[in-house]
């Protein structure tokens, strides 16, 4: 179980998957991130969503809507279960697809977000293909929007090297993870 750290669902718990390769952003890091990133009245996309915790945090804190993207059918079903437990009418869309297909598909449908959060599996060489797909589809993020990439400390430099449409504005380290915050150039 994970606990939502703020907003209207603060202290509410959501279920997690038992998948061994799913790693969850620590509660203290989630709280710190949402304390510095304002999602109020904005749209939010959560790539590599897992349980959907980041989408639920965003909506709890006033985001207009969220899209949770995960390749695992188990994860997508779990996100739906968590949505129904919290509030089945919330404006949350679940996309069960690999990010390499989901991102161009969302762009083709004219969808974009003010904040895109990506938490790929650590140290499994996802950063380069993720940023390549985002560089090919920069319109996924609104003109004044931001991209937040969660990485291990070992991977944080890749974010700087691989992004051509985005400019790094901040990097924060919490609980053994790094949040790189980028804006569209």
Contact 66, 46 (CB under 8 A): yes
Q: How confident is the model at residue 33 (pLDDT cuts 50, 70, 90)?
A: very high
**Over 90: is that where the pLDDT of 17 sits?**
no
Contact 146, 115 (CB under 8 A): yes
Where exactly are the structural domains of the chain? 2-18+26-184
**Over 90: is that where the pLDDT of 26 sits?**
no
Query: pTM for this one?
Result: 0.93
The DSSP bridge pattern shows strands 141-151 and 177-184 to be: antiparallel
CATH T-level fold of 2-18+26-184: Rossmann fold (3.40.50)
* pLDDT for 22: 65
What is the distance between the alpha carbons of residues 66 and 122, in angstroms, rounded to a whole number?
23
Q: pLDDT digit string (tens) for 125-172?
A: 888 899 899 989 999 999 889 999 999 888 887 777 766 778 889 999
Lowest mean pLDDT among 34-38, 88-92, 175-179: 175-179
Q: pLDDT digit string (tens) for 79-135?
A: 999 999 999 999 999 999 999 999 999 999 999 999 999 999 877 888 889 989 998
């Amino acid at each position: 179980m994970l606990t939502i750290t703020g907003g209207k669902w603060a202290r509410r718990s959501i279920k997690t998957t038992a998948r061994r390769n799913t790693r969850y952003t620590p509660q203290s890091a989630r709280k710190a991130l949402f304390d510095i990133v304002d999602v109020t009245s904005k749209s939010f996309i959560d790539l590599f969503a897992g349980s959907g915790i980041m989408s639920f945090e965003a909506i709890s804190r006033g985001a207009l809507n969220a899209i949770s993207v995960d390749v695992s059918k188990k994860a997508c079903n779990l996100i739906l279960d968590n949505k129904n437990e919290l509030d089945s009418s919330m404006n949350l869309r679940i996309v069960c697809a690999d990010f390499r297909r989901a991102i161009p598909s969302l762009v083709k449908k004219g969808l974009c977000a003010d904040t895109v959060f990506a938490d790929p599996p650590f140290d499994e060489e996802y950063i380069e293909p993720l940023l390549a797909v985002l560089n090919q589809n920069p319109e996924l993020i609104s003109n004044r929007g931001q991209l937040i990439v969660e990485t291990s400390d070992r991977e944080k430099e890749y974010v700087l090297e691989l992004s051509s449409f985005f400019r790094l504005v901040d990097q924060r380290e919490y609980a053994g993870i790094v949040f790189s915050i980028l804006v569209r150039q």
